[in-house]
């Protein structure tokens, strides 16, 4: 037994030594042959690929390249993405009227449908099942200030629609912290994230050191962790399953975060301000307006109280929306027959906050039943 442990120990030392001294050389050698070993390389290549069609826009921050057809990568997921002459994501086969639509959908990455082909997204399913002429204006990292400027730009430039459905994300309030209006467009505040290394714990230091000096070892450990974490909804595996993950958990203390001294008072007020501007814009143009809200996995997993958040937007919609679409309630109804974990596993990508094919189909069917 002792001999076996010695062999294992020596093997590990040799592997780490080779990784430290020759790891970067090996990585670079494979890179020249377009073979990417580390997860960091893969992420970088995915980012480079996304820049082929994700572009800046002077009127509303960012959008898709017009008339594009190509491949998008989201993590380890690969899908086809096509856009029309306005830079709206669309069905790669179906043609529609590019200037006159029955519905505009707008939102962030959930509405864009990251990781999925258009026909698998809730917007694509809605379009296919209803046969309406639909435009998907949603793009990753959008928030209300961008929703408003993008809608205004296209409506002022001749595009027509009968109904706008806006999918509001729980993370939109945090995104608004970094954005403000200037020159009738969207600008970004120069806010730099500062990390105090003294506050990093020993595990953080170890991770950082391994990632920097033992890249192959770090990649092996990361893949091993992913294998061990299959189907596990714990914060040890993925931060998004942490009960206090800030991007979604703030709605559990909605009043505290949005009161006079609340952390999200200003960005939340900015959310409301631009949603009111959207409502007024559409009212002037005689266009119907509906607002939808939906949960992240953590909002389902922990049974925390998000009633104040839901009630706020329902009250907001009383005199501003044609429909208030509350998918929190839709998912709550599933709890009669399924556990919280079963609901998440069935409807979300594992280790991610976005809906999978099943989740998008569920959203689409609920939407069609309500407004069609």
Q: Which pLDDT band, with edges at 50, 70 and 90, does 10 fall under? A: confident
As a 3-state breakdown, the chain gives helix, strand, coil percent values, each rounded to 5, of: 50, 15, 30
Phi, psi of 21 (to 5 degrees): -90, -30
H-assigned helices in 51-143: 109-112, 122-130
pLDDT digits (tens, 9 = 90+) for 255-269: 999 999 999 999 999
Q: Work out the mean pLDDT of the chain and round it to a whole number.
A: 88
CA dihedral 169, 170, 173, 176 (to 10 degrees): -40
Least confident of 108-117, 232-241, 322-331: 232-241
pTM for the whole structure: 0.89
pLDDT digits (tens, 9 = 90+) for 324-338: 999 999 999 999 999
pLDDT digits (tens, 9 = 90+) for 336-350: 999 999 999 999 999
**Which one has a higher pLDDT value, 94 or 14?**
94
Residues 67-84 have a mean pLDDT of: 93
Burial class (CB in 10 A: 0-12, 13-18, 19+), 57: middle
The Cα–Cα gap between 224 and 212 comes to 18
Closest CA to 307 of 236, 234, 370, 252: 252
């Amino acid at each position: 037994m002792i001999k076996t442990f010695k062999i294992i120990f020596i093997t590990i030392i040799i592997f780490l030594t080779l990784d430290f001294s020759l790891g970067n050389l090996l990585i670079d050698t494979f890179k020249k042959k377009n073979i990417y070993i580390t997860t960091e390389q893969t992420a970088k290549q995915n980012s480079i690929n996304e820049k082929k069609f994700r572009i800046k826009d002077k009127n509303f921050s960012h959008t898709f390249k017009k008339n594009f057809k190509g491949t998008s990568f989201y993590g380890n997921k690969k899908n086809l993405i096509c856009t029309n002459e306005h830079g709206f994501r669309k069905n790669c086969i179906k043609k529609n009227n590019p200037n006159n639509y029955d519905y505009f959908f707008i939102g962030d990455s959930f509405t864009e449908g990251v990781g999925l082909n258009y026909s698998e997204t809730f917007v694509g399913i809605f379009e296919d099942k209803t046969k309406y002429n639909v435009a998907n204006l949603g793009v990753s990292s959008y928030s209300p200030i961008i929703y408003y400027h993008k809608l205004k730009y296209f409506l002022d430039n001749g595009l027509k629609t009968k109904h706008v459905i806006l999918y509001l994300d729980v993370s939109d309030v945090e995104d608004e912290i970094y954005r403000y209006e200037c020159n009738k467009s969207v600008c970004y505040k120069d806010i730099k994230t500062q990390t105090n290394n003294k506050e990093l714990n020993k595990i953080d230091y170890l991770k950082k050191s391994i990632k920097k000096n033992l890249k192959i070892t770090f990649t092996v450990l990361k893949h091993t962790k992913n294998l061990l974490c299959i189907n596990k909804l714990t914060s040890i595996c993925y931060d998004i399953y942490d009960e206090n993950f800030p991007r979604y958990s703030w709605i559990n203390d909605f009043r505290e975060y949005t009161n006079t001294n609340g952390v999200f008072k200003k960005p939340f007020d900015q959310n409301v301000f631009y949603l009111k501007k959207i409502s007024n814009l559409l009212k002037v143009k005689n266009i119907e307006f509906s607002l939808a809200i939906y949960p992240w996995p953590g909002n389902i997993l922990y049974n925390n109280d998000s009633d104040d958040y839901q009630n706020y937007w329902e009250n907001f919609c009383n005199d501003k929306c044609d429909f208030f679409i509350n998918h929190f309630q839709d998912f709550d109804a599933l709890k009669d027959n399924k556990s919280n974990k079963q609901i998440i596993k069935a409807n979300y990508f594992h280790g991610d906050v976005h809906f999978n094919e099943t989740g998008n189909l569920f959203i689409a069917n609920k939407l069609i039943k309500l407004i069609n």
